[in-house]
Structure 1
Amino acid sequence: MKKPQSVKNYILASLSVVIIALIAALSFHKMVLKSWNTEDSVIVSIDRVGKVRGTETPLPFNNSTAEREKASPETEESPWETEYIDITVTFLNGEKKGESEDILITQLSTSSLKLTEGRRYLLVCDRFEDGTLQYSISDRYRIPWVIAFLILASGGLIASAGKAGFRALAGLLLSLAVLLGWYVPALAKGVAPIPFAILTIGAVSIITVLLVVRRPAFWIVAFLGALGGAIAASTVGWIIVKTWQLTGLASDSASLLASTIPNLSMEGLLLAAVMIGAIGAVLDVAVSVTSTLAELFSYDSHIESHRLWQAGIGVGREVLGSMINTLILAYLGSSLPFTILISYAGIDAMALLNDPYIAQELLRSVAGTIGLLLTIPITTGVCVWWLDFRLRSKKSAG
């Protein structure tokens, strides 16, 4: 009789999470509308989308529709020309909140932003020196749904995993706080990426181990195992960066960052990215091996060291297979558009391996893989040493 009750509770918990996510999204939407203070943009709902036409000169939005049509006759469109579109919008915030207006917006003819009636968008207004206003749609307004699905995922984790899920979520939030609240702002100020990356990895490892590993006696095992794997991945990454002569400037965003913050070492930033990218997978392996060995020790506190070593290596090998897949596929997925472009262009394999962008992705994959490989024996060795040390300490105390 307990099993149906358990299923019922699980279904009720899932429905509760969905309802809470929707309510939170609606509440957050209202809060965003009240607090949105970006001077050059407002949130609007599109009520009508008129004709699309091409023109060479911007037209004042306050011209009548007839004047705009007269000044902007329909011409054959070029893929690179600017389009002018008559639309009717309702302002959802700002000084004109609740008002509806016919406006003329500018948009590149190659833009992938599709305007749909009934949807919400971000409307940007540019004011020229002569007082002319030029409107454009910068993006879709998606904040409520982003919040809803974040809460749905977080609530689902807690509902299904209970306290363990809550601890995992808390660890993730604290790790993000360290990365986004401390490390990234420090980099923006031009600090050395690698030393701060080492401190960040240490902080993230401590947070994760304390919240995820249930047995305090094994905290040091998981921490040292993860730290050892991260150091291994970092060392391999440094060797690859030097031997492959990578500069960290393979992408447009990296080049823009280098010109924006001239004193920031892009080579160091590339290596720091490898270190931080590897720590997640390394922590997974270290915690998995530690938890398994801790369970074995709890069942048999007199287990021999060589048996414990064999068990740790055996479990690590099985975890390794799936974790390497996760690591490689994550990197491949993040660069999938570029990979498709390369496949479409039919680039030679040798030229492909020599491409700096591909080399950077290979750097992350190779360094992360070797870090995972070494995490298993490091974690197992630390566990065997730690248990032997504790046993000797107890005998000495007795």
Structure 2
Amino acid sequence: MGGHHHGDVLVDPARRRRANLILWFLLAPVGVLAFVATLVLWPSGGITQAPLGDVFDTANGVELSTGTVTRTVSETCPSTQGLDEVGGKELLCDISYVSPEAGGASFALEVPPETTQSRPLVAGDKIKYLDLSHTTDSSAPYVFVDFVRSTPLALLGIIYAVVVCLVARWRGLRALAGLVGGLAFIVGFMIPALLEGESPMLVGLTTSTVVMFAALYFAHGFSARTSTALLGTLFGLGVTAAIAVWATDAAALTGATDDAALTLSTVVPQLSLSGLLLCGLLIAGMGVLNDVTITQSSAVWELAEIAPHSTARQLFASGMRIGRDHIASTVYTIAFAYAGAALPILVLVSLYDRPLVDTLTTGQMAEEVIRILVGSIGLVLAIPVTTAIAVAVVKAVGSGAAPAETISRQAGRRALVQQPSTPVPDAPRPAGVPVDAGRHPDD
């Protein structure tokens, strides 16, 4: 016997088509609204040039160059050389000798102590540095900027893609393609629309809906199972958006909690920082919602295959037992993910002599807490809704309890196909003709 097939569960084609039509009747208006909103909000291209110049382009003749470290030694810091002669003190620091990628003689580069304490430069490292040798007479004409990370990032990305494709096969490849498409839509539509001053909430909802429609159907195919997961995801997004709007206003979150936000408020004054925070909440919750809804939908279908005669109540109860485990694991997954991203802030907060409650209610920490709570509420509520929709759809298309007449016809057709034909008596054989005459050797 082979593995189970979804065709054994969804035994009534007419009911299956009817259930798919009902799902599309619910999903089509949302898809049309998202498509229309995309056309209306599509960036006009009003921002033709980046309002911010190159962060390193501070003076004429300053160049951002790359080079390879040949060796690192402890020597007198170039910035303190000669201080002994004027009553100062020369200091020792790590000096890396760098060979410019563009060619030329190697030079000594003073590396900041905060870099060497966490990751000292070693031979073979590729780095970026500012070349100030043509603009200053300083004793430190070269300034360390950063490491060049192109190769390890590309290698890690290739390994990730290979692992996904090996384990998930074609579905993994389609998921990766959907991810690339979703990111391209975010960069090509969402960010320019926000910069042109469109409503961040409307832009975020439109982006999330379009990406979920495209990614889910592309990765998982057009099926009732996928449509069920999409409905649950859209419900979760709606709940997340509604709670996020209330929480942002009630907690008086401004979004102006770091240097990047303050720079945006100066360069793009038409951009609402609090709205940008709402948009970020939706995009962050989109992936987690997709994870739990597609899992719940698949779980209900698998349960229906294992026990096709289960009642709707039994299917829902079994699906929710799986969902509760998913809730328990995903809730602390979200919390730990945010805690890991905000770890430097948490360590810094622990050094202040302030009550923990006061610290958690500061603007920057409150944003992280609300991200966790809002995303978790939308996720938790999406699980029972998705499970209920999946159970309703499975029962609507038929879960093995086909009408007796249909089962009788199917059994009759199988018996007819499997029944051996009645042997026909051999015709009289003329004398002298061999028994095997006219037969193929492989017959």
- The two structures have a TM-score, normalised by structure 2, of 0.67
Matching of residue 126 in structure 1 with residue 132 in structure 2: yes
For the 8 Å contact 1:55–1:84, the answer to whether it is kept is: no
Deviations 1:249-277 (A, max 9, x none): 12222222222211101010111111111
Which residue matches 1:42? Answer: 65
- The two structures have a TM-score, normalised by structure 1, of 0.74
Return the match for 2:99 from 64, 68, 90.
90
Q: CA RMSD in A?
A: 3.2
Alpha-carbon deviation of 1:332?
A: 0.5
Partner letter of residue 282 of structure 2? M
- 1:386 is paired with a residue whose SS is helix
C-alpha separation between the residues in 2 aligned to 1:237 and 1:77? 56
Return the match for 1:100 from 96, 99, 105.
105
Structure 2's unaligned 5+ residue stretches are 1-56, 407-443
Distance 1:54 1:311, change over 3 A: same
- 2:354 is paired with a residue whose SS is coil
For the 8 Å contact 1:53–1:72, the answer to whether it is kept is: no
For the 8 Å contact 2:83–2:90, the answer to whether it is kept is: no
Moved more, 105-114 or 147-156: 105-114
Matching of residue 116 in structure 1 with residue 110 in structure 2: no
C-alpha separation between the residues in 1 aligned to 2:304 and 2:124? 61
Distance 1:136 1:229, change over 3 A: same
C-alpha separation between the residues in 2 aligned to 1:159 and 1:145? 21
Return the match for 2:89 from 66, 76, 83.
76
Partner letter of residue 53 of structure 1? C
Return the match for 1:364 from 355, 360, 371.
371
Which residue matches 1:208? Answer: 215
Distance 1:107 1:186, change over 3 A: farther
Matching of residue 52 in structure 1 with residue 65 in structure 2: no
- 1:264 is paired with a residue whose SS is coil
Which residue matches 2:249? Answer: 242
Structure with higher helix content: 1
Partner letter of residue 126 of structure 2? R
Structure 1's unaligned 5+ residue stretches are 1-37, 57-68
Write out aligned runs for 1:169-318 (5 A). 169-213=176-220, 216-299=223-306, 303-318=310-325
- 1:191 is paired with a residue whose SS is coil
Partner letter of residue 267 of structure 2? T
Question: What count of residue pairs does the alignment treat as equivalent?
Answer: 336
Alpha-carbon deviation of 1:247?
A: 0.5
Which residue matches 1:380? Answer: 387
Deviations 1:117-144 (A, max 9, x none): 3322112223666798932121112211
Alpha-carbon deviation of 1:106?
A: 5.8
Moved more, 317-326 or 184-193: 184-193
Distance 1:213 1:86, change over 3 A: closer
C-alpha separation between the residues in 2 aligned to 1:48 and 1:71? 26
C-alpha separation between the residues in 2 aligned to 1:73 and 1:151? 55
Distance 1:130 1:47, change over 3 A: closer
- 1:287 is paired with a residue whose SS is helix
C-alpha separation between the residues in 2 aligned to 1:157 and 1:84? 45
Matching of residue 321 in structure 1 with residue 350 in structure 2: no
C-alpha separation between the residues in 2 aligned to 1:52 and 1:186? 52
C-alpha separation between the residues in 1 aligned to 2:149 and 2:266? 31
Question: Identity percentage over the alignment?
Answer: 24
Distance 1:100 1:166, change over 3 A: same
Alpha-carbon deviation of 1:153?
A: 1.8
- 2:132 is paired with a residue whose SS is strand
Deviations 1:21-44 (A, max 9, x none): xxxxxxxxxxxxxxxxx9822221
Deviations 1:16-64 (A, max 9, x none): xxxxxxxxxxxxxxxxxxxxxx9822221122446232648xxxxxxxx
Alpha-carbon deviation of 1:337?
A: 1.1
Deviations 1:43-97 (A, max 9, x none): 21122446232648xxxxxxxxxxxx6699694369xxxx9987543222x3x3x
